[in-house]
Amino acid sequence: MNSPCRKFFPSSSIARKLIMALTGLLLFGFLAMHLAANLLLFISADSYNHYGHALTSNPLIYVAEAGLLLLFLYHIIDAITLKLGEGKARPQENDQRESLGKSTVHSRTMIWSGLAILVFLVIHVATLKYGEHISTVVQGQEVRDLYALVAKKFTNIWYAGFYVAMMVLLGFHLAHALQSSLRTLGFAERRWLRAAKILSLIVALIFTVGFGAMPIYFYLRGN
C-alpha cells in the first residue's frame, strides 16, 4: 500500500482488524436505528412521513450522510486490504486464525456479500431517496409522502423479492460479522465464543425478519 494510504490504513493487520470491528459496530448501530425507523411503517403513514420530514429537513443530515458514506467506504476498503493480505500472513498469524475456529461459508464469502449489499444500497437510495416525489399533508404541513412511495415500490414483485433476498444476505453477513467483531475486541476466549455465535445468529435473524417483513407486508396488502 502506498505511503498516502498508510496515513488512513495502518500497515498492521491487527490494527486493521480492530478498525474493521469498530467500523462494523458503528454500521450495525446505524442499521439498528434504521430498522427502528422502518417499524413506523407498521404504525401509520403520518408517523413515518413525519419522521422522514424531520430527518431530511435537518441541515445536519448532509453531514451525517457524508460521515456514513465515509464509514462505509473505509469499512469496505479495509476489508479488501485485509483479504488481500491474508495470503501473506505470517505462520503465527495463520495459527491464531485457526485457533479462533474453522473457516465457514459466512467467513469465506464476507467480501462478496458485503459488495452485494453495497450495490443494493446504491439501488435502494436511488429508488427511494432520489425516487418519485409524492406530496401529502401531515399536521398541516406539506411533506414528501415517503410512505406512499415505499408502498408503491413494494407492490412490484421483482423489487420486493430483490429486497427480501438482500435482507437474507444481510443477515448472512451479520451472522459472521458480529461474532468476528466481538472476537477482535477481546471475546476470543472459548467460554465467550459460543455466546458470541448465538448472539450473532439471533441478531442476524432479527434484522432479516425486521427488514424483510416490510416488502412482504406491502406486497401482500397491495395485491
| pLDDT of the residue at 74 | 87
How does pLDDT run across 17-27, given as a tens digit for each residue? 888 888 888 99
CATH at residue 176? 1.20.1300
How does pLDDT run across 77-94, given as a tens digit for each residue? 888 888 777 655 554 544
Continuous segment of H or E residues that includes residue 185:
none
Specify burial of residue 220 (Cβ count, 10 A radius: 0-12, 13-18, 19+).
Answer: exposed
- What residues make up the domain containing 183? 3-222
The pTM score is 0.82
| pLDDT of the residue at 190 | 65
Q: How does residue 16 score in pLDDT terms, banded at 50, 70 and 90?
A: confident
Residue 208 CA, distance from chain mean position: 11
Residue type for position 134: I
Are 176 and 213 within 8 A, CB to CB? Answer: no
Question: How many domains in the chain?
Answer: 1
Higher pLDDT, 140 or 188: 140
The whole-number average pLDDT for the span 47-62 is 91
Is the pLDDT at 56 greater than 80, yes or no?
yes
The whole-number average pLDDT for the span 6-17 is 65
| pLDDT of the residue at 180 | 85
| pLDDT of the residue at 1 | 45
| pLDDT of the residue at 11 | 59
Q: Which range, 119-128, 129-138, 209-218, has the best average confidence (pLDDT)? A: 209-218
